[in-house]
Structures are given as C-alpha cells and as structure tokens.
Structure 1
Amino acid sequence: MKRDLEAMSRTAYDLVIVGGGISGASIAWDAALRGLKVALLEKEDFAHGTTSGSSKLIHGGLRYLQNGELALVRESLRERRIWEMIAPHMVFPLPFLLPTYGQGMSGKLIMSVGLTFYDLLSYDRNRLDDPDKKLPGYKTVSREEALEIMPSLKKEGLTGGKIYYDCQMFAPERLCLEFILGAAEQGADAANYAEVTGFLERPGGNGKRIEGVRVKDRENGKEHEIRGALTVNASGPWADKLMGLAEENPPRQLIRSKGIHLITRQLSGETALAVKSEIGGHFFVIPWRGHTIIGTTDTVFSHEPDAMGVTEEDIEKFLLVVNDGLPGLGLTRGDVQHFYVGLRPLIDETPEEGTKDSYNASREAEVFDHGEKHGIDGLLSALGGKWTTSRNLAEEVVDKAAKKLGRKLKPCATESTPLYGGAIKRFRPFLDEAKQRHQRYAPDIIDNLGHFHGARMDDILEIAGTEPKLEERLDDQSPDIGAQIVNAVRNEMALHLDDALMRRSGIGTLGRPSPQLIGKAAGLMAEELGWDGARREQEIARLSRYFSTKPSGTA
C-alpha cells in the first residue's frame, strides 16, 4: 500500500471516501470488493480518532434493550458473529459478570429476563466452524463465586451474579487497517495525512453537484484535487464539520460523547465486569492483553473535536466513580498505567432548547443523501453507528452509492470474505502450526505476530530474515520485532513514529514503551525514511503526547 496523492489527483474515482476510521475503512473494503474504483482520504493517520478510542468490544449492546432498541441489538448480535468469522485473529469471546442486587432492575429476576432475551436475539451466535469462538448462553453464579471473580464488589445486598458472553478486539487500530489494506489489494487508493479542505462543485439539478474534494497534503503542504462521481462523508465526530464545507447550515448535527478509559494492572482475571456506581452510572472492567481497561465515561463534549484529550481532572473524577462502584479496590492515580479517549459521534435528535444527553442517545446509524432534500447531489454522509455495526453500515452505504451511480454491482461479500489477515479456519491450531514452522523464534513472538498479522505473518518473517537486527526484539520485554516497524513503513503507510507504535503494532497502547524500544524503533524508521538526528528526536517528542494529559479546560 503506497501513498501517492499526485497519482490520485490524476485518477477518476467512483467513490471518494473522507475519513479513515472504521466507517470509512469498511466502506472502502466493501466498495472495492464490488468493483468500484475507490479513494480513501484521512486527515490524520488511519484509525487515529474514535476508532482507536473504543472499549475494544464487539458487543450486542445489552443495555440498549432497556431503550427498546431491539433492531439495533439484533443487528449488533448478528454482526458480532460475522466479526468472529472474518477476523478470527482479532475478535475473541469474552465473559462478563453482572453482579445482582436486591429485587429491582439489578435483581436476579430482571437480569435473567433480559439475558434470556439477549440469548434469544443471538440465536445464530454459534453458527461457527471454530469451537473456540462459540459463545455459551448466560449462567447464574452465587454470591461467593461473584466475589471470587472480583472481591471488591459492593457486598451489601449482593445476591450473586450472571455471566454472559460478548466479544473483544485484540487491537482495533490494526483491525481497521486490515480493511484498508484489503481494499488497497483490490485496487483502492488511500492516503493518510490528507486533509479535505473543500468540495469541488458545479451547478446541477436544483442546486449543485459535488464532483470531488480539495485536499491538503499535511506532510508537504501541497494542494490536490481528487475527483469522484460520488463523495462519501465518513468522518465520524467531524462529519457535521465536513458537511459545513458544502452548506452553511448542515442538515444533521452530532452530539459528541467523550469517553475516557484507564488501563491498570490485571484486576479480574479473564472475566469482564459491568459495574454500577451511584455517582457515575455504569462502567466496564475489561481484561485486555494482560492488563485491565476501565471505561468508559459518557459526557457531552462541546469543544472542537480536534481539541479532545484526557486531563488529570478527568482521571481523578473517573477514579472516584470506579472506587464508588468497587469500594474495596482503592485505585489511585499511581495505578493508572495508561489512559486514552474517544469521541462517539451520535446523531442529535434533541428537541430545540433541549438538554443534550449522550448516554441515552441512540447508537443507530444513518446514511444521509444530501441530494434528496438539500439540492447537493453527489454527496452521502454516513452518520452515527458504532464499531460493531460498521460493516453493516458500509453495506448500506455502498448499496445506496450503487443506485446513485446507476451501477449494477456484485452483491456485498464482506459478510463472508476474510479480512486481510483473516484467512484462518481455526486460530489456535493456526498458531500451534506456526510455532512448529518457526521454531527459531520464541513462542511469544509468534503469538504476537499471529494476533496482529494473522495469515500474513509470514510476510513479516520474510522481512525479518533479511537482516539479523530485524529478527531481534525491540526490547528485552517486548514480543515485537524490528521487522514489524520496517513493514509498517514499507507496506502500511506509517509516516511517523506514533503511526508505527500506536496503530500498526499496538506497542504503545498499553502505556509508554521503554526508552530502549522507542530508540530502536525510531532508528529503524530513520533508516527507512531518511530522517536526520533532529527529525528522529522530533518524532520521539511527538510520540510523548499519547502519554501526557492535557491542561484542564482544554479537553
């Protein structure tokens, strides 16, 4: 996958997609598979924003049952099974404990009714070839069993718990990238650090027609025009801002919900928890890659989306909520090994003068055609939605695009086509076989390559075999090797150190890597990209922003 905005400016596309998060990536993959010529543009790095700021869950949305959103829950549960099939190296079952208290909404009876319905809505969940991917129905555990899983649960009124299953992503940034890599393999063109600054317009119909976009290359400042028969706005929390470049009063507004997450030592073994705090609502405690994610907050964010960040005040307030919900835990700031944030783009259905409510706002998605009522033909906006349903949203967008283009396309194939590294029948036997074939490498290195690269792991090992230093660990504790960094530059459009460490490998997503690792990775990228000493230090400094909080009042 090569970045070439000059060549893209000389190409006529069927679809120009703005936004390189999971929505735009899914649309690019679906459209390319169906034979459309696709351009994908992202103003930062791929998976930079909301896509990397999630709770890492592929889930049905149990709490949406309370809001009566049965269609959304069923859609999510269907998509959950599809994720397990197309990304077997990235999506895995995860048990959740719901503690039960008293006789009300948190009581045994109500929980049993809700989970029975949840299981019924996921009636097809085990139509899978891999037994390791199958999800049991819910079960009841005793008070003692619940406390054994999490001794810090509130004990007063605790009657036991329910264990049900959803799924978890190993690395959402990498999973998003696989859509883009797959689309590129099917002929799509993509560019990161390509900021759309305006639309190419001409008079048409009862208004105007969009014929593509103006793009600024943020790496060198050059301006380009990328032309396409149809432009798709898939820019997530920036979607209404992008609409504003086409019309003064965008027809759809968003509520931006800020969600912060904390990463700590492992707290609950292999079982996740859904916990209620009296002062801050529900939050999850989620085991992930040998650590625990605690998340998420859900507050309306009214600043510019580019200003989003985590403040020390955010962390302090969330720790109060966590310690209220789990009073025996006693987490302090020193227990927080890493933190991150995401913005959920929710369609604003608030009546005028109404109070914005991100927690209860629907996670439903919408495909909006600006030509139908607003006289701006050639522009579609994919709004709202969530990680779990992004593939289905993409199918809806491409179906609508085909009608707009007057094209009869092949049927959608993303429901059954493995992702870029997903051509694996059963993941555990795949890893066992890989360890046998590559006995010169430590088992943890092969495990890591299998999770991040799946069926493409041999591509990385081929690069590793060209130089001894590319076979070496990046530091003594890391399962990541030098070849992963080099591959990120050569084949995955990593232009900056944080691209490689935060989104191509996931090395930095558990917290600040060691100075040794950062230095070695920066040195490998410097060799590939021709950085001098000053640029190398700039890249290391740029990486630090992911591990630093922002001043209060700015995020």
Structure 2
Amino acid sequence: MKRDIQRLMEEEFDLLIIGAGIYGAATAWEAASRGLSVALIDKGDFGGLTSANSLKTIHGGIRYLQTLDVDRMRESVRERRALLKIAPHLVYPLCCIMPTYGYFLRSRPVLQMGLLLNDILSMDRNWGLDQDKHISRGKTISREECLAMLIGINGNGVTGGAMWTDAQMISSERLLLSFILSAEQAGAVPANYVEAIEFLRTSHRIFGVVAKDLLTQKEFEIHAKMTLNMTGGFFNHVMKKAVPETSCRPIQLSTAMNLVLRKSLLPGCAAGVLSRFIYLRPSKKPYKGTRILFFAPWKEFTLVGTHHRPYYDEPENLRVTAKEVNTFLEEVQHVYPGGAIQKEDVSFWHKGFLPMDGVNGKSGEVFLTKHYRIYDHEKEDGVEGFMSVIGVKYTTARGVAEKTVNLVFKKLGRKRIPSKTHCTPIWGGEIKRFENFKACVIERKVYELSPKVLQYLVYHYGSEYPNILSYLEKNPKWAELLPGSEEVILAEIVHAVREEMAVKLSDVILRRTSLGAGGHPGEACLKACASMMADELGWSKATKEKEILETAKLYTLTQ
C-alpha cells in the first residue's frame, strides 16, 4: 500500500471518504468490497485521533440492558461476533467481572437476572465462530471468589460478583489499518496526510474537494460522485466548509480519557468497579455520585477508564494535562487501594472525542450520544452528492459502514450489491483455529526468531506474517530486535514504510507497531527507528532529529 496522489488527481471516484478513523476505514472496505471506486483521505495518519483512544474492548452491549435498549445490545452482539470472525488474530474473548453490592440495581440477584437475559438475547453470539473464539455464558460468584480475583479493590459492601465474557483487541491500531489494507486490495485509494481544504460545489451539488498534500504542500482536486464526511471531532469544521447553510445541528463534543498503567493488576480478567466521586457544582454545593470504572488487562499493562468531560474548545487544541491525569488517578487509587498505584505507574494516556447530548447540571456527568447518525444532505439541506456520519462506538463501525454504503448505492442509483464484510476475513484474517495456527508458527522456529517474536507477528499480522519474514531473506540483520523490545524486529520498520504508508516516526511507534503503545519506548528505540526510516525515506539529519523530538513530546503532559 503506497500513497498514490496521482490516482487521486486523475480518477473520478464513486465515493470520497474524508476521515480515516475506524468509521472511515470500515466504510472504505465496505464500499470497495461491494464494487465501488473509493478514495480515503485523512489530514493526519490513519486512526491518529479519536480511534487511537480505546480500552481495547469490543463490547457486546450487556450494559444496554440496564435501560432495556435491546436493539443496541443486539447490534453490539452481531458486531462483536463479526469482528471475532473476520479478525481472529486481533480480537479474542475477554473475561469480565463486576462486584455486586447489597442495594437493588447492583445486587447479586438482579445482576444474575441480567446475565441470564443477556445469554438469552445473545443466543446466536457464537454462530460461525471457531471454538477458541466462543463467548461463554455469564454467572455469579461469591464475595470470597470475587475478592480473590480482584485483589486490592475496595471491598466495602461487596456481596459477590457477576462474570461474563466480552472481547478485546490486541491492537486497535492494527485492526483499523487492516480494514484499510483490505480496502486497498479491493481497489480503494487511501492516503494519509491529505487534507480537504475546500469543497468543489455548485449551488446544489458537491462533486469533490480541493485537497492539500501536507507532505509536499501541493494542492489538487479529487472528484467524486459522492463525498462522505466521517471526520469525528472535526465534523462541525467540515460542515462549515461544505454546507455552511446546513440545518443539521452541530455536534457537542466531550472528551474521553483512559490511562495506561505499567503494572498488571488483573491478569486475565477485566473488571468494572464502582467508584464514588464528588462534583462541585457552580453553586459550590458538592454532589456525591457513583460511576463504574473499567480496568482491562492488556499485555503487561492495565488500561483504566473512562474519564468523561465536556469540551468547549476548538478540536485542534485538544491536550492532555497533568492536572486531569492526576485528578483521575486519585479516583483510580481510591477504587483500587490495594494496587499501590503511583503517579510513576502511569506510562501513557489516551484522549479523544465523543459526541454528547449535554451535561447533567446536578452531577456534572456527560450525557453521551447513544446512537450513530447518518445524514443525507440532499434530504436535509438540498445539497446532492454529500453525506455525513457521526459514530459513537468502535465496536459497531462495520455495521454502520454497511448501512452507510447501502445509502450510497441508493444515491448513486445503482443496484445494491449485498454486503459480505460481516463474514469476509480482513487483511491477515485468513485463519481457522487461531490457537492451532499460532502454535504451529511458533513450533516452526523460523529464522531462529524467539517464540515471543513469532507470537507477536501472528497476533499483529495474522496470516500475512510471512510478509515480514520475507525481508529476512534479503537482509538477515533485520531479524534483530529494536532496543528495549522483546517483540518488534527491524523488518517491521522497513515493512511499515514500504507497504503501510508510514511517513512519520510516530506512525511507526504508535500505529504500525506496538513499540510505544504502552508508553515511551526509550530514546535508543526512537533513534534506531528514526535511523531506519531515514534510510528508507531519505531524511536529513535535521528531519530525523525533528521526528524524534516530536514523537518524544507525545509522552509529555501539558502543565
């Protein structure tokens, strides 16, 4: 996969997608797989903003039963099953537990009924899945069993525990990229670091954009029969450029922040734990409330979230401050006193945008938007050739993409081609019986690579892992590990540049490999990666140093 600006300039596409987060990536694959010509652009890297903010969980929607939102729960079950099937190397079952308490909605009997209802409503959750991807039935456990599994939590009032199974991604970044690689193989033309700076428009029709290649500063036109706004937190900005007269209400933004802890608090099991918080109202009168914090094991780390706050600034000014991290950390420490969590344990943080419907004036809590929206601007504003999508959840991106492309076919006047993305493996997903596949690869011990390296390659590249090994035939030295890593080899850096459109050091560190996903990978690692990329891309010494400084800055909090 290579940046092909010339094709973007020369072709007229059926569909131009602006925004390459998980919704844009899934829609590009959906449309290309159904025979449409597709262009996908983003002013940053693929998945570089909100889609990078994740607890790595694929939710089956059990929490929606609290409000009896069965439709949303069923949608989540279907999409979790689809991701387990089409990306078996990247998505796997995850055991979850929530302590029960004596009071009504969180009591053990009530949650036991909820688990039973969840099992009944998701009876098809394992259809078509390999045995090692099956989602188990829920159950309740005793207080003693719960506290034994959640060593260190605040046990006051705990009466037992509710256990169920959801799913987790080994890498949300690689999953998103695999959708784009699949789209490219089906004929789509993706390009990162290309910004839509102006829309090509008559009074009643949009037929593309004026784009700017941010790597060369060159401006050019991209022509398309349909243009799709999937820019997430930048939705309002794009609408002002495209359809300033729109009747669509601007979205209100909130931020969602998760912490990465460099310690394994809950090996093998995620937990939703009750937290108590105090909100100081504008009247200065305190409000005492409760919410659930989610602790998810991930590699040697623990992910904790989510801290939601309303956001009123411009989206490009999004920052993570030391104050907000410390405030959230204090709440985490109270919930998990036995974890001995210190400031030094916070190795990284994720923050992104979610649409909200407002703020609870009593508690200060954000009312998150519950349902995605697909806008047809011919219907809404009388402007043909333009649509917008607002997503709310990583898990359901594929399903929303299917509905969006259904509407695109209708707008183009084409006979709709049925979607098969719910059962078609994405790039790297051509695997049956994943655990057997992984064991066979490790047993072969190719190129004298360690079992840990081979396991990493299988998890991150799936059935396409031989692509990485092919580099070792050309240069055996590329089998060496990056400084400070026990998993990532030099060949992956070369592959990321040559075949995965990595053009900045942060692309490789954060989104093509897992080198920096859990925290700063170390100066030696940054220098080694930058040197390899410099050789591939012809960077000057000044450019290399600039890339190192910019990437290191991502691990520094704003004061």
Tell me whether the two structures share a fold, i.e. TM-score over 0.5: yes
Say if 2:142 and 2:161, in contact at 8 Å, map to a contact too.
yes
Task: Identify the residue that residue 211 of structure 1 maps to in structure 2.
Answer: 207
Say if 2:42 and 2:194, in contact at 8 Å, map to a contact too.
yes
Say if 2:355 and 2:369, in contact at 8 Å, map to a contact too.
no
Report the Cα distance in structure 1 between the residues aligned to 2:484 and 2:533, rounded to whole angstroms: 19
Say if 1:507 and 1:513, in contact at 8 Å, map to a contact too.
yes
Q: Does 1:305 align with 2:315?
A: yes
Task: Identify the residue that residue 253 of structure 1 maps to in structure 2.
Answer: 250
Amino acid at match of 2:31: A
What is the number of residues matched between the two proteins? 544
Alpha carbons of structure 1 residues 116 and 480: separation in structure 2 relative to 1, 3 Å: same
Task: Identify the residue that residue 393 of structure 1 maps to in structure 2.
Answer: 400
| Residues 455-499 of structure 1: CA deviation (Å, up to 9, x unaligned) | 100001001221122111112542100110000000110000100
1:294 pairs with one of 290, 297, 304: 304
C-alpha deviation, 1:95, in angstroms: 0.8
Q: After TM superposition, list the pairs within 5 Å mapping 1:510-525 onto structure 2.
A: 510-525=518-533
Task: Identify the residue that residue 99 of structure 1 maps to in structure 2.
Answer: 99
Deviates more, 1:441-450 or 1:464-473: 464-473
Deviates more, 1:386-395 or 1:143-152: 143-152
Q: After TM superposition, list the pairs within 5 Å mapping 1:95-494 onto structure 2.
A: 95-203=95-203, 208-250=204-246, 251-264=248-261, 265-279=263-277, 281-346=291-356, 348=357, 359-439=366-446, 440-475=448-483, 477-494=485-502
Report the Cα distance in structure 2 between the residues aligned to 1:447 and 1:424, rounded to whole angstroms: 14
Report the Cα distance in structure 1 between the residues aligned to 2:364 and 2:460, rounded to whole angstroms: 36
Amino acid at match of 2:328: F
Say if 2:255 and 2:311, in contact at 8 Å, map to a contact too.
yes
Given the two structures, how large is their TM-score scaled by the length of structure 1? Answer: 0.95
Say if 1:129 and 1:426, in contact at 8 Å, map to a contact too.
no
Deviates more, 1:106-115 or 1:31-40: 106-115
C-alpha deviation, 1:6, in angstroms: 3.1
Say if 1:140 and 1:161, in contact at 8 Å, map to a contact too.
yes
Report the Cα distance in structure 2 between the residues aligned to 1:484 and 1:179, rounded to whole angstroms: 19
Say if 2:402 and 2:419, in contact at 8 Å, map to a contact too.
yes
Structure 1 counterpart SS, 2:197:
strand
Percentage identity across aligned positions?
38
Given the two structures, how large is their TM-score scaled by the length of structure 2? Answer: 0.94
Report the Cα distance in structure 2 between the residues aligned to 1:91 and 1:128, rounded to whole angstroms: 15
Amino acid at match of 2:243: E
| Residues 344-383 of structure 1: CA deviation (Å, up to 9, x unaligned) | 234x4x59x9999874333311111011131111111111
Structure 1 alignment gaps of length 5 or more: none
Structure 2 counterpart SS, 1:388:
coil
CA-based RMSD of the aligned residues comes to 1.8
Structure 1 counterpart SS, 2:225:
strand
Structure 2 alignment gaps of length 5 or more: 278-289
Task: Identify the residue that residue 42 of structure 2 maps to in structure 1.
Answer: 42
Alpha carbons of structure 1 residues 68 and 362: separation in structure 2 relative to 1, 3 Å: farther
| Residues 196-249 of structure 1: CA deviation (Å, up to 9, x unaligned) | 11210013xxxx100001111111111111000000111111122211112325
Say if 2:485 and 2:515, in contact at 8 Å, map to a contact too.
no
| Residues 384-406 of structure 1: CA deviation (Å, up to 9, x unaligned) | 33111100000001000000001
C-alpha deviation, 1:65, in angstroms: 2.2
Structure 1 counterpart SS, 2:339:
coil
Structure 2 counterpart SS, 1:252:
coil
Deviates more, 1:501-510 or 1:234-243: 234-243
C-alpha deviation, 1:293, in angstroms: 0.4
Task: Identify the residue that residue 284 of structure 2 maps to in structure 1.
Answer: none
Deviates more, 1:441-450 or 1:147-156: 147-156
Amino acid at match of 2:216: N
Task: Identify the residue that residue 283 of structure 2 maps to in structure 1.
Answer: none
Amino acid at match of 1:183: A
